[in-house]
Amino acid sequence: MLQVARLAPLELGESRDLVAAFFKSRLNPDGGFQDRTGESDLYYTVFGLEGLVALQEEIPARHVAPYLEAFDDGSGLDFVHLACLARCWATVASNLTAVPPADAILAHLETYRTPDGGYAQGRCAERGNAYAAFLALGAYQDLGRPLPDPHGLLASVAGLRSGDMAYSNQPGDARGTTTVTAAAVMLLRALGGAPDPHLGVWLLDRCQSNGGFLASAAAPIPDLLSTATGLHALAALDVPIAGLREACLDFVDSLWTNRGGFYGSWVDDDIDCEYTYYGLLALGHLRVGAPA
């Protein structure tokens, strides 16, 4: 994702500095990046750091490190924030002499392993889901460790196929969602699986003629997260997106503000690091899809 997001400044042009200033404005004195209430949060810190990397800005590693160190080995964190701690350490560690508590973080993550070979956000879950699987695999990759039992994880993801032949976070669902299907595509590719070519058609069907991807067939309006992840999955499936470029650029542009951030959708009323990063990811893919 980050490699593609680095192309976004080519589409942003003169607006690039405004976006960089927005990310920097979200950094709190304690070293964490702000959530939507202004409080520091590991989840938003991931996107704040990744956004600065994508824009090739200097990473405030020495500022952020004490914030990360306060979480120690992550024993007090939930699953999502454990994965975020791993991602944040992976981003800042190369600029520091500090050594992340990698083995301890991953040991805590393994307590969320499910009987079907997957991962879930709760320790008592019987079935894994694609979102948790995606975060777990990312944490292992970020910390440079091999994922235990990748075949078990593949089997868990296979059980999430929906009735419309996409993917859902719950087994047996009639309809899949764009973000979960995109996560499944990336998991299958990373773990040596073979994504069904039909998934490319399904994802293309989520793209609206006036730009933007729907979260599902029943969603009323497109959103930025679905658009960015949908484009990312189409690229992984080698599906050309040149025909989507202009409409999707118009959609992404409609969510940008001169404060430097992006809204998540047309009904959103706030901007944050997460959606601004997904704006960069979408723009990066649309830059790749530009005519030669």
Per-residue confidence of the chain (292 residues) as pLDDT tens digits?
A: 767 888 888 899 999 999 999 999 999 999 999 999 999 999 999 999 999 999 999 999 999 999 999 999 999 999 999 999 999 999 998 777 777 899 999 999 999 999 999 999 999 899 999 999 999 999 999 999 999 999 999 999 999 999 999 999 989 899 999 999 999 999 999 999 889 999 999 999 999 998 999 999 999 999 999 999 999 999 999 999 999 999 999 999 999 999 999 999 999 999 999 999 999 999 999 998 665 5
Q: What are phi and psi of 39, to 5 degrees?
A: -85, 150
Contact between 117 and 153 under an 8 Å Cβ cutoff? The reply is yes
> Would you state the structure tokens that stand for residue 168, as one six-digit string?
């859902």
Evaluate the CA torsion angle 138, 70, 100, 49 in order and state its sign: positive
State in words which class domain 2-288 has.
mainly alpha
What is the secondary structure of 157-176 as a DSSP string?
Answer: HHTTB-TTSSB-SSTT-SS-
For residues 126 and 122, what is the distance between their CA atoms, to the nearest angstrom? 9
Q: Which residues 6+ apart lie within 8 Å of 192 measured at CB? A: 150, 154
CA distance 165 to 156: 16
Q: In the prediction, which pLDDT does 80 show?
A: 97
The position carrying tokens 């499944």 is: 184
In 3D space, the residue among 195, 174, 188, 279 whose CA is nearest the CA of residue 239 turns out to be: 195
Contact assessment for residue 188 and residue 237, using Cβ atoms and an 8 Å cutoff:
no
The kind and range of the H/E element at 233 are helix 224-236
What is residue 292's predicted lDDT score, i.e. its pLDDT? 53
Helix, strand, or coil here: 40? strand
| Structure confidence at residue 5 (pLDDT) | 81
Going from the C-alpha of 143 to that of each of 12, 84, 275, the distances in angstroms are 31, 11, 25
The pLDDT, as a whole number, for residue 100 is: 87
Tens of pLDDT, residues 100-144: 899 999 999 999 999 999 999 999 899 999 999 999 999 999 999
Q: Where are the domains of the chain?
A: 2-288
pTM of the predicted structure, to 2 decimals? 0.94
Inter-residue contact 117 to 128 (CB < 8 Å): yes
